[in-house]
Structures are given as structure tokens and as C-alpha cells.
Structure 1
Amino acid sequence: MISSLHRPTVAKIDLEAITANIEAVKAHIPADKKTYAVVKANAYGHGAVEVAKRVVDLVAGFCVSNVDEALELRQHGITKEILILGVVMPEELDLVIANDLTIAVASLDWVHAALKETIAFKKLHVHIKVDSGMGRIGFRNLDETNQAMRLLRDAGVEIDGIFTHFATADEADDGKFNQQLAFFKDFLAGLEQVPALVHASNSATSLWHSQTIFNAVRLGIVCYGLNPSGTELALPYPLKPALQLESALVHVKKLEAGQDVGYGATYTSQEEQIIGTLPIGYADGWTRDMQGFSVLVEGQLCPIVGRVSMDQITIRLPKAYPLGTPVVLIGNSGAASISATDVASYRGTINYEVLCLLSDRIPRQYGE
């Protein structure tokens, strides 16, 4: 999707805020822990390449979801370690090795399939993924894990690390978290050989369970200044949101009472009203369920009226503003603000999803 550069809708990314957020987390964990910045999904909508370039000296490496995300970083000069967290199909291993990527190994079946490939296994680096209770990918059986690791080592593969992922580290109830932690510790104790790097700490774990860190952390949403728990847990120290979503008024008109607005005629003016139009819609990730939410114009909340269209939304204004007047959808306007978490709460989802849904049609502008 091509970025729409010739309209006033833009996501402004504060790279200094991202740097400061990583430094804040690192200041609250032991100095000898290895830090990965998670830049999958285009750095949670912030721009993977620009973010990685900015923080490259602060971290030991990066985490992504798949081979293509890793290749994008390599193609833009990122030479540090890149760990692919998702499953890479065995037929892609030549590409992995050629680009010096590290991959997750999640099952004995995968190992058997991979060993059928004709590749330079001595150049392959992997981390073993353990399913401690997330139920997605990863080893659950200790015997299968030891067998897989023997097979990999016999083939010359470098097993650099082992890791798991917590399902509820961002919740007040830590029962499930403690179960997973105990499972992972027992799993490590049963291995014939434990890899040098052991990591289980995502953003939430790093914030609220820092005492459980092994020897590395994977920092995701905290890099971008948001609370992994939404509003359930208070942040232990301040973080600064790095993304501000802005647009501008491209049309302003007066509607008489009794006039309908938008698809389905779901909004009818009850009295004379001023209606403004913004060039952003569900094709940009501003989803249809945002009708009834508000945006900020000169620090004032202005409700979204009528259904969100593919390319436009309409808002009710307190007065007629000039065309081009800035409008804030996420971020600060005067003394008021709207956070990605506020948007998520209205949608009944999480702030991660709000950011990741912001499409490539919205240009990203980078500054301090």
C-alpha cells in the first residue's frame, strides 16, 4: 500500500521517546541482562527500520515475527542479531543462513523436516522455544526437546538460546504467571544441556516481574511508551508514548436540524450543527466502531458522528473552523490528550492492536 503523502493525515513518531523508554527499562533491570528490541509488525506501527536504526546502539539485537521482517532490517544496514520469533519453514533455511538470522525451533517434527534440507547447518543459529502454557508454538515434552537438541547439535547447529513467553504477565492475578515460570524452570532443570541465553521476559515481565528475569529481556510495547496491561496495572515508572496521530479539517459545513450523516444514516442532527470532515477512515486502521468516540480540535473533544467510512470520518464541531485546522486522533492537543489505550478501551481491545492497525497509507514522520 502506498503512503498517502498528499493529504494531512500523518503519524508523527518521536524517536527520542523510544530511546528514553528503552533506557528507562534498562535502568530498572540488572545491567548484565541482554536486551532485545521487538520491532515486529513494523515496530508496532512506528516503522521498524527507523526505530531499529535509532536504538541499535542501545540493544544487543532485535526480535521480529518472520523472515521478511528480518530481511527488511538487513537490507537497511542492520547487522546486529535478529531473532525470528515465529516458525520459519525449513525450505527457507538457506535464506536464513545467507542473511545471518537466528530462528526459533518449536517442535521435534520441525527438526526432522529441517534435517532433510541440504544446507550448511554449521552456520545455522537457533533458540529453542518452550510452550510453558501459552498454547501456541513451542516444546511441551522434555524428552522430545532433548532429542531435538541432540539432533541439531549432531548436525552442527548452534543452539544459542532457549525461551518462553508468558500469557498473563500483564495481569494483577499472578497465578498463571507463576505456574508458567515454575514449568519453565523445571523444564530447564531437565535439559541435558542448557543453552547460554535464557529469556522469558517480555515488556510486562520486565516491568512487573523483573525479579524473574533470566539473562535477557525482549522489550516490545514498552519501547513505544504504552502500558502492556492497558489500565489494569499502574506503570512502575513513567514512559512516553512515541506516536501522535494527526489529521486536519478538509471540509466544514453547517447542517440544519434533522439532517443525516454517513452510511446507513446512523446519525441525525438534532439541531443546527457544524460538521467537519477528516481524511482518515477504516482503510487507515481507524475502524468503523469508532463512531461515537472523540477527537481533539484545539484541545476540545469533538465526537465522531456518523459511520466511519473507508477514507473519511465526520466530527461535530463547537464552531466553524478554517480548513486545514489540525485535529488530533491520538496524542496531545493543548491540555487534553487521547491515548492509544483510550482508543483501545472504547473498541474493547488492546493498545497493541490500535497501533498495529494503522496502515501504511498513513505516512510516518520522524522527529525528536
Structure 2
Amino acid sequence: MNENVSFYRDTWAEINLDAIEYNVKSMVEHLGGEGTVIAVVKANAYGHGDYEVACAALEAGADMLAVAFVDEAISLREKGMKVPILVLGASRPEDVQVSIDYDITLTAISLEWVKKAEQFAKEGVLQFHIKLDTGMGRLGITEKEELDELIQFAADSSSLSVRGIFTHFAAADELESDYTDCQFAAFKKLLGGISNKEWLIHCANSAAGLRFKDRIFNTVRLGIAMYGLSPSKEMNKELPYSLQEALSLHTKIVHVKKLPKGGKVSYGATYTAQEDEWIGTLPVGYADGWLRQLKESEVIAGGKRVQIIGRICMDQCMIRLPEKMPEGTKVTLIGRQAEEYIPIDEIADRLETINYEIPCILSARVPRMFLRNKSIMEVRNPIIQSHSASKG
């Protein structure tokens, strides 16, 4: 390991910033210069690293950022991010002034919210986007009358400024569904009579941005596709350009032993060796996000797929080796090694979930190594950084 790498365990995630840049540039080119790209970096950029991904996305042509909560926006501001940041989720009206102070754009979810927000805007102007609920059933306005009243209320206020309006599709990644057509029609109906050309108007998430160029208006919120992951398995057949997966996960064998026939492995002694076997121990477990349900799944060691055996522990798991391998052998849990490849979708299938969830569940104690042109640019290790900050 590079001597400048600031972590002291043999498990780490690699984030390929070139892949992030490629995926963003590909969307920009797909739009043909006709739309703004909002890079969605909520949830620590889907587990990839918010600031580093944000920088790569902006360099690649994204125009602004989006997060889920005010705390995430403040974190980016305090790391030096100057571009517009939109908070997509519901924010407390009493947090309006801190959002103004940090130049954060909030989301208005109702007329009532806007009226309360104005009361807390003591100094400066609150910028916000209006959220319309066209069928997601989560947040937003559903009635034209309420929308028009909200817009007029903001126009009459010296402390409120509407900067955009948007909705969210519930099924844009489902090729056989016509629900997106219904939502799009509802969105256009609610927008009727609104002609402010300075507003950002957005309904396209990654799936809609990839599939429906006619439903972009002037902005695409680029989320899962920015990380090189398809919004759904169905869409893999109809992508307008290829996606490059940005995250890989690696560890090293820290111990090797020969287990005699009949020997047991891990909690519950659920695994029994059918013959003499070489067993490798890996320093990664469910506290890192490598969940217990991944027992009997495969990883890549020495360029070969090998099986996890026994129950996955909090901090460790064991693999059955085809032959004795040296301690320190690199093992790939997600990503490519030699001719073998384990994509995030494979892990999602084993866990019976969606690919979005896999990078998000990798815990903060897994260091993130950021790469450019296959060279280490930076390493983020929240455990040591937090400890250092507390000492200061």
C-alpha cells in the first residue's frame, strides 16, 4: 500500500473518478447542450464520497448539485463547494435562515410550508424549488390552485424567490409501464400558465434522462447513472450509451490455514470441510456493509472466483481457496481482477435488492480511495479524520 495512504486495515473501496466524469459527460452529450445537469450527491454520493464526486461531476459539465438534507448541503459548503446546491427533501421551516446563510436552495412542499418558511427568513432571501406530486405520493403539491397561490405568495414576498419547479417519476425505469406518461401529463397540466423562463424545470431522473429526451424540459437530475449503474435491469437493453461503474471493493487475505476434513468454520459451525481445505480469512464483515446474507457468495482471489464459507462475522469472513495462497493476496469483492468481474448488480441480486443500495450500505469505516488515471489522488478515512478533529 502507498505510504501516503492514511488507513491501517486491508479493506478499502476504490472510486474511479474518471468513470464519474465519463458518465456525466455522456449525459451532457446525450442532451446535446439542451439541458442543465444536476449531479445528485446525496447520501455521501450514494456511498462514493460526496465532495470528490461533486468535483469530478462539475468538471465534466454538471451545473449544480443536489442532496437530500440541509446537513449534507452544509457539509459540502464547509468543504469549499461554491456552486448552487438544491436540497431535494423536506426541510424544517425553522432551518430556513441557516439555509439562507449557507446559500442553499430548499424545496417547497406546500403553500403552508412556504408561509412558515417566510416567518423564519429574517435576513436575506430564501431560494427554493417547488415540488409537485404527480403520482409518487411522497412530497409535493397536487392541486393547481395551491400552486398558483404559492407562486403569488412568493412573488409578493421580499424574502422568497422561486428558482425552479419539479416532480419525480415513480416508474421511469420500467419499460412496460405507462405510469410515467400519466405523471408527465399531470406535470404539464400543473405547469399550465407558468412561463418563467428563468426557472429550472425538471422531472427527469437518470432513467427518464436516458430514455425520454422529450421529457427533460431544461434539466436532468443525474443520480444512479452518474455512478455507472443502470436504473433497472430492464434498461440495460436500451441504454443510449454505456455506463462505467465507478466503485470497486477490495481486501487482502490476512491469514491462511489448512482445515482438516470435518473441520468447522465460523459462528454456528454451519460449514464443514468435506476434505482437507485451504481457508483464507478476510478483514471485512457485516459492519462494513458486507452483509451476512452474502454467505456462500463469491469473491475474486488470485484472479479466480472463490466462495465465502460459513457465516460472515461483524469484522471478518472466510473463503475456501483452490490452493494455498500467500497472506497479503488481494481479494476483490466488487469489481474486476484479471479476467473475472463481479459487478454491483451481482451483489444486489444475491441480496435480493436494487443496485442503489449496495454502495450506500458500505459503512464509513471502509476507507474510500479516489483514483484518476489509475493513480491515487486522495484517500478519505472518516474514522481517523474524526479522531483527529476531536483532538484538535
TM-score (norm. length: structure 2): 0.89
SS of structure 1 residue aligned to 2:229? coil
SS of structure 2 residue aligned to 1:149? helix
Which piece of structure 1 moves more, 25-34 or 97-106?
A: 25-34
* Amino acid of the structure 2 residue aligned with 1:65: A
1: distance between equivalents of 2:15 and 2:195? 46
Deviations 1:12-46 (A, max 9, x none): 11111110110011111130311111111111111
> 1:277 and 2:281 equivalent?
yes
Gaps of 5+ in 1: none
Q: Tell whether the 8 Å contact from 1:36 to 1:59 is kept in structure 2 after alignment.
A: yes
2:85 to 78, 82, 85: 82
SS of structure 2 residue aligned to 1:183? helix
Matches within 5 A, 1:318-337: 318-337=322-341
* Amino acid of the structure 2 residue aligned with 1:330: I
Distance verdict in 2 for CA 1:136–1:217, change over 3 Å: same
Q: Tell whether the 8 Å contact from 1:288 to 1:309 is kept in structure 2 after alignment.
A: yes
* Amino acid of the structure 1 residue aligned with 2:342: I
Percent of pairs with identical residues: 44
Partner of 2:146: 144
Matches within 5 A, 1:145-294: 145-156=147-158, 157-189=160-192, 196-230=199-233, 233-234=236-237, 235-294=239-298
Q: Aligned residues, how many?
A: 365
Report how far residue 53 of structure 1 moved: 2.0
> 1:306 and 2:294 equivalent?
no
* Amino acid of the structure 2 residue aligned with 1:55: A
Distance verdict in 2 for CA 1:195–1:130, change over 3 Å: farther
1:17 to 16, 19, 22: 19
Report how far residue 7 of structure 1 moved: 0.8
Report how far residue 113 of structure 1 moved: 2.3
1:37 to 36, 39, 52: 39
SS of structure 2 residue aligned to 1:21? helix
* Amino acid of the structure 2 residue aligned with 1:162: I
Q: Tell whether the 8 Å contact from 2:175 to 2:234 is kept in structure 1 after alignment.
A: no
Q: Tell whether the 8 Å contact from 2:39 to 2:62 is kept in structure 1 after alignment.
A: yes
2:343 to 312, 335, 339: 339
Gaps of 5+ in 2: 373-392
Distance verdict in 2 for CA 1:66–1:114, change over 3 Å: same
SS of structure 2 residue aligned to 1:351? coil
Distance verdict in 2 for CA 1:84–1:8, change over 3 Å: same
Q: Tell whether the 8 Å contact from 1:37 to 1:62 is kept in structure 2 after alignment.
A: yes
Q: Tell whether the 8 Å contact from 1:171 to 1:233 is kept in structure 2 after alignment.
A: no
Distance verdict in 2 for CA 1:19–1:228, change over 3 Å: same
* Amino acid of the structure 1 residue aligned with 2:289: G
2: distance between equivalents of 1:190 and 1:54? 38
1: distance between equivalents of 2:205 and 2:227? 14
1: distance between equivalents of 2:271 and 2:141? 52
Q: Tell whether the 8 Å contact from 1:188 to 1:194 is kept in structure 2 after alignment.
A: no
Deviations 1:187-241 (A, max 9, x none): 1116596862210111111111222111001111111111111355423311111
SS of structure 1 residue aligned to 2:356? helix
1: distance between equivalents of 2:259 and 2:364? 33
Partner of 2:71: 68
Report how far residue 87 of structure 1 moved: 0.9
Partner of 1:104: 107
1:316 to 305, 312, 320: 320
**RMSD of the TM alignment (CA)?**
1.7
Q: Tell whether the 8 Å contact from 2:286 to 2:313 is kept in structure 1 after alignment.
A: yes
2: distance between equivalents of 1:109 and 1:315? 56
2: distance between equivalents of 1:119 and 1:216? 31
SS of structure 2 residue aligned to 1:87? coil
SS of structure 1 residue aligned to 2:299? strand
